[in-house]
Structure 1
């Protein structure tokens, strides 16, 4: 399938920018600065990319007004305040849309299910009793929806997704392949050396405009529901345990794991492989750097880190030895040594002043 083709003026109108150069130039696609060709458009997201932009063969560039003045060798521009946002907006116009509609003959749909007229239900999909599928939603092959699952409008459920526990999904939700929504939470009561399973009775509620990557698990609540609010984006391989609440517009990169009954605020960012213990609260506007372990409440917005940064192995080993040696020194002894050092410094400063 051939990509759509737009004039530079049309693209500028889409992103609320203005054209400099020949607005009738035709653009057939997007590309990075390194690989763009004369029929393609690229974007310059800051001065650190100027050298690549100067060498780029792109037929047009999306830039700020300041950057445009530094790119004298190019002639076709779309000038905007935020080139990266403009690029994101244009990707939707060059994206290949899934246009099939209808229900494949191998799908199994319960008679009580309510299915909008303009959906697509792929091969070997199983839809249980009393499910609801909203308009313009695409459900790809081998998806299973257990009883009473609801999915809103304009959503995409990719192949081999399993949604259970009467989960309720809002509009414009994208769930990528092999993800499980509403699986049983990890709940067990220890007694006399054995683990006794706790039946999970809650559900999952997912808001609008949520994106969930491949191979994620979002567990149903034990009693109340697990909640993913509007605008949340989850990368691949993310685990959300039972009764977790994730606030609106929070983002989690790959391999993050959140233990049960933790509440995460709005507009948070978790970098890759962040771990969060259960039963804690994290306020709005918190950033957690990669591979950090969150073990207590975070009540003030800001950036938080844990662990040690990478270094050469020999240096890292020395650091670990020093940390162990430091841990073996009693705190009271360290305080006394610091006090003694401070007194010595003050004494030396006094003697130095007297000599002057």
Structure 2
């Protein structure tokens, strides 16, 4: 693949930065400090990376003014307030983009579907009745768009994504391979020792600027819709059950599971492996640490954790025995023992004071 060349001052304009050094320096790649060569630009976001920056072969570095002054051996810089943000912005400049537009001959599209002229529909894509695909949206091979689905502008739908009901998708949404949007929710009514399936009649609504990773399942609602609001970002291998509502700009890391009818607020962070039971509410600005299990409402912002941190195996086994022993002792007995210990400590403190 032919590499694209950019002048250093061109890249600086993309990030509203100041060039120090040769403004016409040619750059063809964005790279890490360790892998960068004489055609690459890299970034330094913290002083702990200064030693690596001093050893780097990068042609130019993205830095703050304070960090630039500590790299006197380097000659070419883009100076910005936030190097990591500048790196994020430049990653789009160097990103491989799908430039093809139009509809591949192998795609199957219902006559009632409306496809923007500048959209791209890949090989073997199936688009159902009354679907709408917005301007500059890309749908890659083997994806399936069911009847009544609407996908906005500038979206990217990767290979083998399935929309299983009349989903509504906003603008600038990215959904990665093998994810299912609008699959049947896990709804059953128990009666006479049998599970009776509940038909799921809702759909899924996805706001603008949402990102969903690969191998995720976003179930449709039982009656009302499952909702992902603007700016939500979801990692790979995440399960979101029916009727869940996720607030704006909430981030969910890999292998989280959220049970049905739970409402999660804005600007929350769920670290990897978090589990959330159904029918509860989590407030705005809540952070849940990895592997936490949330079993009741969280109504105040803050950081919450559950589970046991790792120990050496022998220590963990001894601790597990103590946990079991603790569970077998009534709470009132423990409190009485603590009160007795406190009284003994106070008695010893009084004796020591008298001796002085």
TM-score by length of 2: 0.98
DSSP 3-state at the match of 2:195: strand
Per-residue CA deviations over 1:127-172 (Å, capped at 9, x if unaligned) read 1110001111111111111110000011111111110210000011
Q: 1:319 to 1:196 in 2, by over 3 A?
A: same
Per the alignment, residue 223 of structure 2 pairs with 223
User: Partners of 1:22 and 1:326 in 2: how far apart?
Assistant: 68
User: Partners of 1:3 and 1:14 in 2: how far apart?
Assistant: 19
Per the alignment, residue 98 of structure 2 pairs with 98
Per the alignment, residue 48 of structure 2 pairs with 48
3-12 or 161-170, which moves further after superposition?
Answer: 3-12
Per the alignment, residue 258 of structure 1 pairs with 258
Does the CA-based 8 Å contact 1:3-1:94 persist in structure 2?
no
Does the CA-based 8 Å contact 1:102-1:120 persist in structure 2?
yes
Per the alignment, residue 198 of structure 2 pairs with 198
User: How far has the Cα of 1:314 moved from its partner?
Assistant: 0.8
1:123 equivalent in alignment to 2:116: no
Structure 1 runs of 4+ aligned residues shifted over 4 Å read none
Does the CA-based 8 Å contact 1:3-1:96 persist in structure 2?
no
DSSP 3-state at the match of 1:296: coil
Task: Write the mapping of 1:1-356 to structure 2, written as runs, cut at 5 A.
Answer: 1-356=1-356
User: Partners of 1:268 and 1:134 in 2: how far apart?
Assistant: 30
DSSP 3-state at the match of 2:351: helix
DSSP 3-state at the match of 2:254: coil
User: Partners of 2:121 and 2:151 in 1: how far apart?
Assistant: 13
CA RMSD of aligned residues (A): 0.9
DSSP 3-state at the match of 2:182: strand
Does the CA-based 8 Å contact 1:4-1:93 persist in structure 2?
no
DSSP 3-state at the match of 1:336: helix
User: Partners of 2:52 and 2:296 in 1: how far apart?
Assistant: 44
Does the CA-based 8 Å contact 1:139-1:158 persist in structure 2?
yes
User: Partners of 1:81 and 1:8 in 2: how far apart?
Assistant: 17
TM-score by length of 1: 0.98
DSSP 3-state at the match of 2:287: strand
Per-residue CA deviations over 1:160-219 (Å, capped at 9, x if unaligned) read 111021000001111111110000000000001100000000000000111111111000
User: Partners of 1:277 and 1:286 in 2: how far apart?
Assistant: 16
User: Partners of 1:352 and 1:340 in 2: how far apart?
Assistant: 19
User: How far has the Cα of 1:122 moved from its partner?
Assistant: 1.0
In structure 1, runs of 5+ residues without a counterpart are none
User: How far has the Cα of 1:107 moved from its partner?
Assistant: 1.0
DSSP 3-state at the match of 1:190: strand
User: How far has the Cα of 1:2 moved from its partner?
Assistant: 2.2
DSSP 3-state at the match of 1:205: strand
DSSP 3-state at the match of 2:66: helix
User: Partners of 2:190 and 2:208 in 1: how far apart?
Assistant: 38
User: Partners of 2:219 and 2:175 in 1: how far apart?
Assistant: 15
DSSP 3-state at the match of 2:3: coil
User: Partners of 1:301 and 1:264 in 2: how far apart?
Assistant: 12
User: Partners of 1:120 and 1:9 in 2: how far apart?
Assistant: 33
User: How far has the Cα of 1:77 moved from its partner?
Assistant: 1.0
User: Partners of 1:189 and 1:229 in 2: how far apart?
Assistant: 29
User: Partners of 2:127 and 2:10 in 1: how far apart?
Assistant: 42
User: How far has the Cα of 1:4 moved from its partner?
Assistant: 2.1
User: Partners of 1:93 and 1:39 in 2: how far apart?
Assistant: 15
In structure 2, runs of 5+ residues without a counterpart are none
